[in-house]
C-alpha cells in the first residue's frame, strides 16, 4: 500500500464520529407538526422526530431557518 492510500484511509477513520455541518448544528431551527402545523423551538442534540407535538402528540419534523422542512 503506498503512502497516499495510507494517508487517505487514516483521514477517513479520523473523520468518523466527528460532527460537522448540519449534523453538529442540529439542522433545524424549529420543529413543526405535519398534522396541525404547531411549531416549537428545536432543542439541540434532540432530533425533531423524537419530539411529539404538544397539541396532537404526532412526531414532529425539523424546519430550517429558511423555512424548508427537513
How do residues 10-23 score in pLDDT, each as one tens digit?
666 666 655 555 54
Query: What pLDDT is attached to residue 56?
Result: 96
Domain range for 23:
3-63
Closest CA to 43 of 56, 30, 61: 30
- Residue 13 belongs to some domain of the structure: yes
- Residue 69 belongs to some domain of the structure: no
- Residue 70 belongs to some domain of the structure: no
- Residue 68 belongs to some domain of the structure: no
Our count of domains for the chain comes to 1
| Dihedral sign (CA 67, 18, 52, 61) | positive
- Residue 26, pLDDT above cutoff 50: no
Instruction: Look up the pTM and report it.
Output: 0.57
User: What average pLDDT does the chain have?
Assistant: 77
Amino acid at each position: 500500500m503506498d503512502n497516499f492510500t495510507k494517508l487517505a484511509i487514516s483521514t477517513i477513520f479520523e473523520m468518523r464520529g466527528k460532527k460537522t455541518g448540519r449534523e453538529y448544528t442540529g439542522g433545524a431551527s424549529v420543529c413543526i407538526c405535519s398534522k396541525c402545523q404547531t411549531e416549537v423551538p428545536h432543542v439541540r442534540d434532540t432530533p425533531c422526530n423524537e419530539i411529539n407535538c404538544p397539541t396532537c402528540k404526532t412526531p414532529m419534523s425539523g424546519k430550517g431557518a429558511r423555512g424548508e422542512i427537513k
